[in-house]
């Protein structure tokens, strides 16, 4: 990474809506400011869509999904080649895109550069699936021959968050394009720049007009217009549980459109007394919560540590947090940049205040870092108990809450005592204990002796109020496919 030179002031090339492979202003000309969270300075203004613009994008996507449209008539293998071409273009412009992501979201350039690679890996994985989505033949009673076809669900609305702007574009576009759907995608108004640039690469790659449409906008406005639209067949939403409920209500009232959700989390990471190495356990736990500045839906935000190693763990965790390097996201040694916005920074600081009021001990951090940019010091709390707000609610920031446990069965009960169920982890030498935990924990992902090992080939999603449906892996395709049964009567004799 040290040999990759970032572009500190990347040119902003696209700020309009992308509909039917054309750039256009919003119908009312509304714009919003895009702010660099590290400097609090204006990057640019982008066009903000509204219901009228969503209607135009959905109409374009519907035209592209007509049975005789080029996208529908295209060989599945050709769809894969188009996706591969898009991947090649992202790789060509990887440094530019990572630089754009850095000024837009505040994440360290080294992380942004890595995420460009992960995004390409995801798209290439799904490109390989295009001509491998098979129906079946079904043995039936009577004089029938039955077969199934797997067909694209139709026009899909995709609403993505600000914490992983381009990665979430890849997670959403990958399976939708592989299955032959058409798309209206809404990036966050806080971090729209990389998605808009990728839109230009969609056109450059040669995708037919209307297959991918991108409309920047607010949740109340573009988001609600997508979820309410009667000609949208499915919505994929990543964001908060509260907004997920609103999306589900809109989907039900409009046309019972299919929904997949990847929502909030308050994920437990259990550090056993027999973990392989305490220093390594501290490091895994540190990265589990402080990665991406704590702005991670599956962050290990409840660190349960066995009482026999608790005091030593807290000491080491505090020392590691003190060494964490904050500052200029473009600097090679920076590990943590700013939070995405002032609103998010203030929200995190309020949670920290609540932890202090509830009696948890701040071992390190606990305040804003610096006086410019939306930085929050990496914060370590000890003495956290299950009833405290910081142990119950999703903070979405660099705040490590360390809880003590004694009984293994009891810590599993405590880990499950939440409305969320997105992810979990356990650090132990005992494989039997790990499997015991994995069987009983209520979470979509269980990581053993690691954390946040999200792999393109494996399904990702949540239990309970962390959502339903899955992204990534073969399971991610199922969310964009309909099964059609074709039954043919064949007489026993001619």
Distances (CA, A) of 164 to 111, 264, 267, 355, 440: 10, 14, 18, 27, 30
Query: Dihedrals φ, ψ of 263, to 5°?
Result: -115, -150
Radius of gyration of the chain (CA): 24
Query: Which secondary-structure segment (H or E) carries 186?
Result: strand 182-186
CA dihedral 394, 268, 423, 432 (to 10 degrees): -170
Active site residue 482: no
Specify the 3-state DSSP secondary structure of 367.
coil
- The candidate with the shortest Cα–Cα distance to 266, out of 461, 453, 466, 460, is 466
- The candidate with the shortest Cα–Cα distance to 91, out of 188, 166, 2, is 166
Specify the 3-state DSSP secondary structure of 27.
coil
DSSP structural state of residue 223: I
Q: How far apart are CA 246 and CA 227, in angstroms?
A: 9
Q: How far apart are CA 57 and CA 63, in angstroms?
A: 10
Of the residues 262, 363, 394, 479, only one is catalytic, namely 262
Contacts with 273 (C-beta within 8 Å, 6 or more apart), sequence order: 306, 308, 309
Q: How far apart are CA 372 and CA 119, in angstroms?
A: 31
- The candidate with the shortest Cα–Cα distance to 170, out of 217, 126, 229, is 126
Are 17 and 189 contacting, i.e. CB atoms less than 8 angstroms apart? no
Which long-range contacts (C-beta less than 8 Å, at least 24 apart) are formed by 347-354? 347/395, 347/396, 347/397, 348/294, 348/376, 348/395, 348/396, 348/397, 348/398, 348/399, 349/376, 351/389, 351/390, 351/393, 351/395, 351/397, 351/399, 352/376, 352/379, 352/390, 352/399, 354/388, 354/389, 354/390
Q: In sequence order, what are the beta bridge partners of 152?
A: 481
* Residues annotated catalytic, as ranges: 262
């Amino acid at each position: 990474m040290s040999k990759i030179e970032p572009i500190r002031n990347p040119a902003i090339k696209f700020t309009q809506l992308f509909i039917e492979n054309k750039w256009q202003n919003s119908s009312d000309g509304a714009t919003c400011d895009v702010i660099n969270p590290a400097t609090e300075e204006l990057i640019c203004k982008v066009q903000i869509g509204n219901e009228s613009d969503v209607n135009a994008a959905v109409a374009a996507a519907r035209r592209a999904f007509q049975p005789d449209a080029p996208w529908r008539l295209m060989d599945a293998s050709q769809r894969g080649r188009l996706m591969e071409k898009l991947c090649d273009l992202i790789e060509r412009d990887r440094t530019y895109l990572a630089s754009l992501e850095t000024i837009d979201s505040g994440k360290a350039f080294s992380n942004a550069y890595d995420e460009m690679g992960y995004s390409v890996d995801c798209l290439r994985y799904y490109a390989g699936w295009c001509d491998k989505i098979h129906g079946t033949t079904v043995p039936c009673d009577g004089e029938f021959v039955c077969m199934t076809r797997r067909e694209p669900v139709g026009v899909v609305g995709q609403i993505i968050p600000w914490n992983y702007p381009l990665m979430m574009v890849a997670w959403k576009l990958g399976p939708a394009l592989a299955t032959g759907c058409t798309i209206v995608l809404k990036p966050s108004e806080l971090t729209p720049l990389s998605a808009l640039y990728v839109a230009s690469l969609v056109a450059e790659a040669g995708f037919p007009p209307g297959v991918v449409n991108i409309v920047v906008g607010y949740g109340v406005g573009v988001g609600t217009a997508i979820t309410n639209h009667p000609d949208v067949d499915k919505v994929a939403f990543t964001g908060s549980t509260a907004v997920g409920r609103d999306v589900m209500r809109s989907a039900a009232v409009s046309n019972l459109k299919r929904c997949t959700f990847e929502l909030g989390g308050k994920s437990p990471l259990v550090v056993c007394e027999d973990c392989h190495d305490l220093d390594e356990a501290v490091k895994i736990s540190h990265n589990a919560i402080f990665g991406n500045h704590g702005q991670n839906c599956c962050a290990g935000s409840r660190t349960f540590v066995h009482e026999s190693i608790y005091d030593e763990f807290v000491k080491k965790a505090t020392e590691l947090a003190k060494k964490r390097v904050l500052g200029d996201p473009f600097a090679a040694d920076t590990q943590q940049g700013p939070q995405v916005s002032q609103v998010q920074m203030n929200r995190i600081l309020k949670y920290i205040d609540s932890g202090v009021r509830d009696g948890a001990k701040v071992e390190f951090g606990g305040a804003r870092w610096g006086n410019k940019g939306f930085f929050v010091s990496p914060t370590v709390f000890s003495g956290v108990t299950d009833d405290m707000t910081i142990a119950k609610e999703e903070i979405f920031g660099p705040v490590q809450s360390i809880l003590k446990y004694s009984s293994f069965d009891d810590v599993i009960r405590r880990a499950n005592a939440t409305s969320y169920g997105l992810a979990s982890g356990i650090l132990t030498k005992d494989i039997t204990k790990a499997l015991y935990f994995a069987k009983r924990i209520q979470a979509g992902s269980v990581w053993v002796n690691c954390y946040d090992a999200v792999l393109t080939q494996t399904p990702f999603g949540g239990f309970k109020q962390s959502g339903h449906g899955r992204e990534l892996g073969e399971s991610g395709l199922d969310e964009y496919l309909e099964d059609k049964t074709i039954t043919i009567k064949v007489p026993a004799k001619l």
